[in-house]
Amino acid sequence: MLKFTANLSMLFTEVDLINRFKAAKQSGFDAVEIQFPFSLSAETLKKTLEEQQLKLILFNVDAGDLLNGGEGLACVPEKTDQFRQAVAQSLKYAALLKPEAINILPGRCFNKTRKQAYLKTFKENLSFAVEAFSSLGIKTVFEAINSHDMPGFIIHNGQQMLNVLKQLNHPDLLMQYDIYHMHMMGDKPDEFITRHADKIGHIQFADCPGRGQPGTGQINFERLFSVIERSTYTGWTGAEYKPVGTTSESLKWF
């Protein structure tokens, strides 16, 4: 049986972040994930999770200016110190919250002549993060994002993620596989998940196009959820979509 998490950065935005935990619990979720939890203290988050009897499955290392149109932190050679500070911040949160995995967003390169340098920096930073989070018994995942929504993103398909895994070859490093982003890139998520489930540490989903809930786009989620359930994947599956209508109205799939 699939285990679903609610992404509180995307769902239940009708209320502020601290109240989304209760909304998720009332809607039937036993676990949540947050893109960037740092607007609340780790102590506040821990108390809220305990009050609502929720497990925090995943959060992201801070990505700097990435969501505001910038290149982010993880791949930019000149931002290595900032990235390591972001990892240190995540370690403090992880020590209290004990997520199953922490996600790293590779970032973008706007100067194509520097792409190889950016890829090299990303892999070095990723290796640093894996070792740091492994010390707490936490897996590290990294994510490909489609280059239509984020032009210049240096890791934007499944094969590129597989290449990084092979090059770094660390048992605590896995992929975060986002069905929406990979469908946007023309990947076939059902085939990829079936073949590479053992290399995936977390799955997220939204329909495509539009990034709404299942049933608003072209993806057959009844079939896809069945594929995930039959695969060897044992992790959580995160609802990370932009609800069309209210969040509660968007949960018919659930």
Q: What residues are labeled active site?
A: 143, 240
DSSP secondary-structure letter at 197? G
CA gap 157, 233 in Å, rounded:
19
- The answer to whether residues 4 and 27 touch, using CB atoms and an 8 Å cutoff, is no
CA gap 106, 129 in Å, rounded:
12
- Is residue 204 helix, strand or coil? strand
What residues contact residue 164 under an 8 Å CB cut-off, 6+ apart? Answer: 123, 126, 142, 155
- Regarding beta strands 173-178 and 101-104, do their DSSP bridges make them parallel or antiparallel, or are they unpaired? unpaired
Q: 180-205 burial, b if ≥16 CB within 10 A, otherwise e?
A: bbbbbbebebbebbeebbebbbbbbb
- Is residue 47 helix, strand or coil? helix
No. of H helices and E strands in the chain?
8, 8
